[in-house]
Amino acid sequence: MTLKADLFFSFRSPYSYLAVGRYRDMTREYDLDITLRTVWPIAIRDPDILFTGNPAAPRYILMDSMRSAQMLGIPFRWPRPDPVVQNLATREIAKEQPLIHRICRLGQAATRRGKGLEFADEVSRIIFSGEVDDWHEGDHLAKATEMAGLNLAELDAEVLSDAAALDAEIAENQDALEAAGHWGVPTLVFEGEPFFGQDRIDMAKWRMEQKGLAKR
């Protein structure tokens, strides 16, 4: 029996990047279907939190994501450019956000095609791995999308023609995450139970094994 789960994911979250490839590997090895559910980064969804939270948080997140990547053997560098246009000194978020709006809508369009997990894995690599600069230019996104089994031109056309509906689906994803009992990413929800963080993958797998997770 195929088990099913949802992965709530942000294209700006380093921890989402560190988790998505490992969850994708699980779907390859096990009879498991994980649906990617894109949410807006907190900087877009609720920027006030960035202004009221502890100013040490960004430094800690960068340090911790770097050492987590080192421990896991996953290449990592903070994106160039950052998907969210933000003044890191003042934490001010720009009104115009062409990169994160496009990439989140592309992710939701990929989910519509049953390829969200693959798209998030391939695209996160070019954003966070440090293997390319200017991930948003040239053919980097097109190649990553092709690796996921999709066509970037087709997805971009849908993003332009159906942006409002895609945004509504992304908002629904956020509502579903909160209904499951969490607010952050990455969060895997399996049978209503949330597993938050890239360090809860083994625990999520343990729970799924209790429910009959079997190798393909």
CATH of the domain at 154: 3.40.30.10
The reported pTM is 0.94
- Specify the pLDDT at position 168: 98
pLDDT (0 to 100) of residue 55:
72
Number of domains the chain contains: 1
- For 43-58, what is the mean pLDDT? 70
Is the previous residue joined to 186 through a cis bond, with omega within 30 degrees of 0?
Answer: yes
**pLDDT tens-digit map of 173-187:** 999 999 999 999 999
Tokens of 203: 């625990």
- Does the residue 123 lie in any domain? yes
Residue 157 CA to residue 204 CA, distance in Å, equals: 36
Q: Does position 51 have pLDDT exceeding 70, yes or no? A: no
Is residue 135 predicted with pLDDT exceeding 80? yes
Average pLDDT on 180-202 reads: 97
Range of the domain at 82: 3-210
Predicted local confidence at residue 76, as pLDDT: 98
> Residue 111 domain-assigned?
yes
Q: What is the mean pLDDT of the chain?
A: 94
**Cβ–Cβ contacts within 10 Å for residue 123, how many?**
26
Residue at 216 is within a domain: no
The pLDDT value recorded for residue 126 is 98
Cβ within 8 Å of residue 29, ≥6 positions away: 215, 216
Rounded average pLDDT over 167-172: 98
